[in-house]
Amino acid sequence: MPSRYVDGMESYDYVIVGAGSAGCVLAYRLSADPATRVLLIEAGPEDRSPLIHMPKGFGRLFGDPRHVWYFPVEPDGGRNRPEVWLRGKVLGGSSSINGMVYMRGQAANYDDWQARGLGGWGWPDMLRCFRAIENHALGASDLRGAGGPLTVTPDREPHPLSDAVVDAAVSLGLPRRDDINTEADEGVGYVIRTINRGRRWSAASAFLRPARRRPNLTVVTDALVERVLFEGRRAVGVSVRRAGRAPEVHRARGEVILAAGALMSPVLLQRSGVGPGALLQAHGVEVVADRPMVGENLIEHRMLAMQYRLRGLAGHNREHAGIRLAANVLGYYLTRRGVLAKASHELGMLIKSGPDVLTPDVQILASPVTYDRSATSFALEAEPGMHFIGHAIQPRSRGRVMMRGAEMNAPPEIHAGYLTDAHDRRIALFVTDFVRRLVRAPALAPYVTAELSPGAEITDTEDILDLHLRSGNAGYHAVGTCAMGAQPDAVVDARLRVRGVEGLRIVDCSVMPTIPSGNTNGPAMALAWRAADLIVDRGHARPAAA
Ligand SMILES: Cc1cc2nc3c(=O)[nH]c(=O)nc-3n(C[C@H](O)[C@H](O)[C@H](O)COP(=O)(O)OP(=O)(O)OC[C@H]3O[C@@H](n4cnc5c(N)ncnc54)[C@H](O)[C@@H]3O)c2cc1C
C-alpha cells in the first residue's frame, strides 16, 4: 500500500479540479476502487440552495454570484449590449444551473472524432457510456440505458401550446418522435430532461452524492485552484486558495485532472505555464510547455430568441408571478409537479437545413414563456407569449479564450467568433425563416397574434444576421478550447493527457474537438465516463511508496 504522505503532506492518487458535470462523474468512477484516494476540489459551495433542486429555480439562481461565474465576452462584431457567459460555480457545476435538456449528440459526431484518429471515441464507445450512465424513463433498449445513476425523464405534462407546435412541425414535414436522442434523422418531440421525480438531477445529485459515502473520496468546496504545480515537466499537485486561509498545496501521487470546464481549464493551464509561450511571458508566467493551441478552437452555439404574443392559450408567463406563483410553489412542494418542475424548454426539433444535408444541422427548442428583453435578468413578461431558440448545431465559427492576467480572479479574455463562418450565417437565416413558417402553420397560427422579436418587419438578410449578433444569446455550450487530437499540436491526446507535460489530464467540455449536435451536459458526463475507463485501464503510474 503506497504511503498517503509525500514530503510529510497528505497526497492523493488523483486530484480533480472542478466538481462540474465531468468532475462529478470522474470522482464517482475513480473512487469506486477503495484503494484509490481521490480529492475533488470545487471553487463553489455545496449544492444546498433549494433554487438548484427545484427545476425552474434557475431563473433566480442566475443572479446569485455565490453559485454562478460571470464571464464577460469581448464585444466583437459590434454588439450593442454586453454579453456575459454564465457557468455553474457549485457542486454539480453547470449541471446545477442549466436548462436540464438532455441531448446526446449524433452518432456521426463521435464517429467523426474516431475518423480524426481519436481511437476509442467513436459512437460504439460513446453509446456504451451513455447507456451506462442512463436511467432512462422510457426504458432500456439497444440505444438507451436503464439502471444507471443519471435519471432522465420526458415532460409528461406539456402545455397545449406545445402540442400545437408539434402539430405545426409535423405539418412542415418533421416526423414526431418519442425520443429525439435515439433518432439519427430529423424529428420533433418533447425534450428528455435531467429531472428525477420533479427535482433537478445534476451530476452532483446523480454521481457525487452516492460517492460521498466512500472514505477514499475527499470533497473540498469553496476552494479555488490557482495553478497546477510542476516539478520539471511533471504535474505534482495544485495550489489552492480558500477564504480566510493561507494558500494550500494538495499533492497528487498519480495525476492532476482538470475538469474546470471549457472556459477555466485552458486559463488554468495557461496560468500554470502551459500555453502559448508569448502570451505566458507577456503575463510574467514561467513557461513549462509552449503549447500554442491552449485556449484556441472555442466553439459555441449562437441562438436568437424569437418571441411571439399569444391569444386563446395563455402560456406560462402568468404562472410565474403573484398569487399564481405562490400557489405553484406550494403545489410544487406538495406534488413535485407543475410549471416549477419543468426544464427550460418543453420540446425540441432536429432539422436538416437542405436536401443535401446528411444529418440534422439545426436545433430548435420551444417554450410557452417570453422573456422581458429590456430587463437585464431573466424576467418573464406579464402578457402571454412563447419563444423559440434555434441555431446551427455544428457551428464552423471559432473563437478563443485567453488569460488576461496571472491571477485567478482576473476574468479571461473571451472572443466568441460568432457567425464568422458563412455556414453559420446561412443556418441563422434558415432558423428565422423556419420559425416564421412554423407559426404560420394552421395548427399554430390561430394562437399567435404578433412576432415580438425580432419583429415581422425585419426581413432583410443583413438585418437578420445583425440581430443574431446584437440580440442573440450564447447557448452556454462552449467546448473545444483544449481539444484532443492525433496531431502533435493538439492540446491533449486521445487518452486526454496534456501533451508536453506528464501527470496531467483534462476531462471536461474543453477536450471535445467539435461540438456534439445539441446540448452539452450529457456529452460531458459520457465523456468523463469514457475518460475514467482510459485512466483506470492505464492503472496510472504511482511512484513507489515513500
Ligand atoms: C445557463 C446554462 C444553461 C445550460 N443549459 C443546458 C441544457 O439545458 N442542457 C445541456 O445539456 N447543457 C446545458 N448547458 C451546458 C452544460 O451544462 C455544460 O456544457 C456542462 O455542464 C459543462 O460541463 P463541464 O464539466 O465541462 O463544466 P462545468 O459543469 O461548468 O464544471 C466546471 C466546474 O469547475 C469549477 N471550477 C472552475 N474553475 C475552478 C478552479 N480554478 N478551482 C476550482 N474549481 C473550479 C466550476 O466552479 C465548476 O463547478 C447549460 C449551461 C449553462 C451555463
Stronger pLDDT, 222 or 79, i.e. the higher one: 222
Q: How confident is the model at residue 376 (pLDDT cuts 50, 70, 90)?
A: low
C-beta 39 within 6 A of ligand 1: no
208 lines ligand 1 (CB under 6 A): no
Tell me which of 46-50, 88-92, 216-220, 405-409 is least confident.
405-409
Q: For 454-505, how does the pLDDT look when each residue is reduced to its tens digit (9 = 90+)?
A: 999 999 999 999 988 888 889 999 999 999 999 999 999 999 999 999 999 9
CB 352 within 8 A of CB 186: yes
Ranking 158-172, 373-387, 453-467 by mean pLDDT, the lowest is 373-387
Which residue reads 481519436 in cell numbers?
A: 118
Helix (H) or strand (E) holding 22: helix 21-30
What's the confidence (pLDDT) of residue 183?
85
Could you tell me which of 43, 55, 123, 148 has the C-alpha nearest to residue 91? 43
Higher pLDDT, 65 or 378: 65
DSSP state of 205: I
Phi, psi of 263 (to 5 degrees): -100, -35
Is the beta carbon of 353 within 6 A of some atom in ligand 1?
Answer: no
User: Do you know the residue count of the chain?
Assistant: 546
Q: What is the mean predicted confidence (pLDDT) over 110-124?
A: 97
CA dihedral 449, 454, 456, 461 (to 10 degrees): -160
Task: Decide which of 544 and 424 is more confident.
Answer: 424
pLDDT of residue 314: 85
Total Cβ atoms within 10 A of residue 383: 14
Confidence category of residue 375, pLDDT binned at 50, 70, 90 = low
Q: Are 330 and 338 in contact (CB under 8 A)?
A: no
pLDDT of 2 over the 50 cut: no
Say yes or no to pLDDT of 91 above 50.
Answer: yes
What is the structure's pLDDT at 250? Answer: 96
For residues 269 and 10, the model is more confident at 269
**Beta-ladder partners of 121:** none
Report CA-CA distances (Å) from 51 to 48, 182, 196, 477: 9, 31, 15, 22
Neighbours of 445 (CB within 10 A): 12
Average pLDDT, the chain: 93
Q: What is the pLDDT of residue 95?
A: 98
Dist. CA 228 → ligand 1 center (Å): 20
Q: Could you tell me how far CA 452 lies from the centroid of its own chain?
A: 29
How far apart (Å, rounded) are the C-alpha atoms in residues 147 and 487? 38
From 521, 525, 529, 530, mutation site for ligand 1 pocket: most ligand atoms within 8 A of C-beta: 521
**Of 23, 492, 28, 503, which Cα lies nearest the Cα of 253?**
503
Is residue 437 over pLDDT 80? yes
Going by pLDDT thresholds of 50, 70 and 90, the confidence category of residue 9 is low
Measured distance between the N- and C-terminal CA atoms of the chain, rounded to whole angstroms: 10
- Which range, 22-26, 83-87, 310-314, has the best average confidence (pLDDT)? 22-26
Torsion-angle region of 15 (φ positive above 0: left; ψ -120 to 50: alpha; else: beta): beta
> Over pLDDT 70: what percentage of the chain?
95
Give the mean model confidence (pLDDT) for residues 84-100.
97
> Residue 9 pairs with which residues in a beta bridge?
6
Cell output for 107: 452518432
- Grid coordinates in use for 255? 495525476
Q: Angle at CA 111, nearest 5°, toward 527 and 480?
A: 50
Least confident piece of the model among 34-43, 244-253, 293-302, 375-384: 375-384
Please check the confidence at residue 92 and state whether its pLDDT lies above 50: yes
Report the distance separating Cα 439 and Cα 390, nearest Å. 14
Give the pLDDT of residue 405. 83
Strands 187-190 and 347-351 come out as antiparallel
C-beta 86 within 6 A of ligand 1: yes
Nearest protein CA to atom 31 of ligand 1, as residue:
20
CB neighbour list of residue 409: distance below 8 Å, 6 or more residues apart: none
SS3 460: coil
Stretch 425-433: mean pLDDT, rounded? 97
How many angstroms separate the alpha carbon of residue 30 from the centre of ligand 1?
20
pLDDT of 7 over the 70 cut: no
The structure's pTM equals 0.96
pLDDT confidence tier of residue 313, bands split at 50, 70 and 90: confident
Q: Please tell me the residue having the least CA distance from ligand 1 atom 39.
A: 260
DSSP helix, strand, coil percent of the chain (3-state; round to 5)? 30, 25, 45
Q: What is the mean pLDDT of residues 86-90?
A: 97
pLDDT computed for residue 542 by the predictor: 41
pLDDT reading at 539 higher than 60: no
Q: What positions carry a catalytic annotation?
A: 477
Q: How far is CA 229 from the centre of its chain?
A: 27
Cβ of 316 less than 6 Å from ligand 1: no
- Where are the alpha helices (H) located in 348-482, listed in sequence order? 422-440, 461-471
